[in-house]
Structure 1
Amino acid sequence: MNLVNQTVIHKAFGEGKIISIENGYITILFSQGEKKFIYPSAFKQFVSMKDPACAEFVQAEIAALEAKEAEAAEQKRLLAMQQQEAALAASAAKDSKPVKKAKVFPRANIAFKCNYCDGGKSAEQVGFNGVCSDAVIYNNIEVEKRTWCNDESCACLHYHNGEMDRETLDSQCRDGGFVCYESQMLREWRALAGVVRSGVRKDEPMKLQQVQNNSLCILTTRDPDSSETDRYIFAIFLVDETYEGDNREEGYVSTRSKFKIKLSPDEAHKMLFWNYHTNDNQSDVAAWSSGLHRYFDDVEAVQILRDVADLKTGTADEALAKEFLSHFITINGVDVDSVPTNNGAIVRAAKS
């Protein structure tokens, strides 16, 4: 069913008309302006169709989505059972077989490059949980010239140009509408691959082809007026849901597990990304050119988790950080004794 031009009712914005539905998002024109929401999830709580037949169609879409999510959850449950059975079998065979040293092997952990967002900034978190301040919006649009922030679909650009007031912008984010990936990153604990913003593949969804459950995901950013060397890690989580992506929707990773940790501003600035990571070429240069994500191995992951655990000593997250490190080492079979000290681009540059 084609829902374009159909009327909807939003709890906060009133009646609006659907303009488009694409790439998992629905764009609706209200009297206050255009707003973008996740489709069909927004119809669970914030938005409803005025036409009964359309409402029935959307509910069927929601039911199909929930069935898909339930199937994915069941697959995760079965995988967990298989892993548990394998662990029990290995434990039973331990007495009859020589103990072998666990092997450190490359696998797909992932790091995301995020535009700086101070929405929701506090003593406990850098931000990334609300719309940016006016100063950061100006910086991202006028100074850094961030691609999405300057996109005609970006609500912050409409606000910056005087086409929307601050309350409307904040309410769009607060009421479940889409503003940007960064503004909801630590609310949803989800990182998306994004779409191609230029060239012959412009607007094509990007894929995540190497990430698996039990991989480590780290979220990185850098402050305004800082260099790439200053890029830091502001949050980490253990991936327990992945979607590779296809020709219609971008890939993503997320988590519902307890293994997710936010770093305070002081802690985050001590976790410099390039203390751990290197480029294949020019390994002593801190340079992240194209792309929103990078893959890294378990050695680097353990180095990061180990330093986070040290940083969290004496805080409310101390026990969780230590358990996170131990859990990651166990489920991925990492020989922690063979993990060397950090040797990222910054460390290598200092040695040269």
Structure 2
Amino acid sequence: MNLINKEVTHKRFGKGSVVKHNESLIEVHFATENKKFVFPDAFGKYLKLNDQSAAHSLEKVIQKQEVERLKREQEKDEEKKLLRKERLLRLEHEKLMKNHKLHPKSQMVFWCDTEDQKRSFTEWECFTGIIKSGINKGKPNKPTRIHQNSACLITARDSAMPEKDRRILGVYMVGEDFIGKLCEDGYIPAHSEYRLQLTDEESERMLFWDYYVNEKYPNKMTWNTGKYRYFDNLWMAQILHDLVSVKTDPNEQKLAQQFLDHFCRMNQIRKEEIPKANGALMRI
């Protein structure tokens, strides 16, 4: 609003006339000198507009600015709360990272239908599924063993084929900062670099049951329920080792080798000591 030449009254300097003003300052000419004031803060404290219509308009401006000020303060408070929350989460994350102990079965294998496969290789993430019963019924399964040393194996079988023909479709290391204990939505994201998808020809050579065995029932090859199961670290190393030779594209083969090297380093496995696969299919 334009206040130039508007008459004002100051508690100490008396009457004056506005000669300049902008969004933050106002200058008033009094009888003997000019004075500058903070705009619009000075009004209501030191200055009073004598023009009632202008005073009413100014009051609306002041009210609007007060609302905006309160909004900014609220946003700052929310930002501070968010920063505190992020700081606490970061400290918790660092604590979990520092105190993490490798679990011998901290890998995960997924049973994937057609829709799961599509999401796995477009979004590069897998979903652990929903808890079916108990007090947490309806909530996503929390992958508590999964950590930075973990990889996720994507498998599938055609409905017309027996379970023993389940094929490996792809594999990825979990995201660099992922910690299963902190996962609330059940989605496990892939590492930005270590991720591999197999061609149809490659997956025909990589059968899941060549590597996996149920120690309680070593001759059985069944997947009864659930979207996933935990997987032995050495079995995953065996799969990654064999993928290096299965891959025919030089770039993919190089990535598979780097993947294996990284995995072994994260899981404290010596590549030279990886045993040959001895899954249920190998024991028939």
TM-score range, shorter chain: 0.5 to 0.7
Are 2:219 and 1:284 equivalent residues in the alignment? yes
The CA distance in 1 between the partners of 2:234 and 2:180, in whole Å, is: 24
2:120 aligned counterpart, secondary structure: helix
1:110 Cα deviation from its structure 2 partner? 0.9
- Is there any run of 5+ residues in structure 2 with no aligned partner, and where? 1-74
Partner residue, 2:120:
185
Aligned to 1:207: 142
Going from structure 1 to structure 2, the CA distance change for 1:340 and 1:327 (only over 3 Å counts) comes to same
Q: Which residue of 2 aligns with 1:294?
A: 229
Return closer, same or farther for 1:296/1:276 CA change in 2, 3 Å cut-off. same
State the match for 1:106 in structure 2.
104
**CA shift in 2, pair 1:72/1:254, >3 Å:** farther
Greater radius of gyration (CA): 2
Cα 1:319–1:182 change in 2 (3 A) is: closer
Q: Share of identical aligned residues, percent? A: 31
Who is 2:266 aligned against?
331
- The TM-score normalised by the length of structure 2 is 0.60
- Secondary structure of the corresponding residue to residue 302 of structure 1: helix
Find the counterpart in structure 2 of residue 238 from structure 1: 173
1:343 aligns with 2:274: no
Give, in whole Å, the separation in 2 of the partners of 1:243 and 1:331.
Answer: 16
Q: After TM superposition, where is structure 1 displaced by more than 4 Å over at least 4 residues in a row?
A: 71-76, 197-202
Q: Cα distance, 1:213 vs. partner?
A: 1.0
| Structure 2 residue 256 is matched with structure 1 residue 258 | no
* RMSD after superposition: 3.6
| Aligned partner letter, 2:268 | G
Q: Which amino acid aligns with 1:300?
A: W
Shift of 1:299: 1.2
> How far has the Cα of 1:331 moved from its partner?
2.5
**CA distance in 2: counterparts of 1:183 and 1:217, whole angstroms:** 15
Q: What whole-Å deviation, never above 9, does each CA across 1:216-264 have from its counterpart, x for those lacking one?
A: 2111111231111111111111113244467xx4433212421001111
Residue 241 (structure 2) aligns with: 306
**Equivalent pair of 1:222/1:228 in contact (CA under 8 Å):** yes
2:213 corresponds to which letter in structure 1? T
Gap change, CA 1:114 and 1:322, over 3 Å in 2: same
Residue 276 of structure 1, CA deviation: 0.3
Length, aligned pairs only: 203
Q: Indicate the SS of the match to 1:112.
A: strand
Which protein, 1 or 2, shows the higher relative CO under an 8 Å CA cutoff with sep ≥ 6?
1
Structure 2 Cα separation of the partners of residues 278 and 288 of structure 1? 11
Q: 1:261 to 1:288 in 2, by over 3 A?
A: same
Query: Counterparts in 2 of 1:114-129, with a 5 A limit?
Result: 114-117=112-115
Of 207-216 and 235-244, deviating more is: 235-244
**Normalised TM-score (structure 1):** 0.50
- Check conservation: 1:109, 1:215, Cα contact below 8 A: yes
Give the whole-Å Cα distance in 1 for the aligned partners of 2:113 and 2:141. 17
Please tell me the residue identity of whatever aligns with 1:188. E
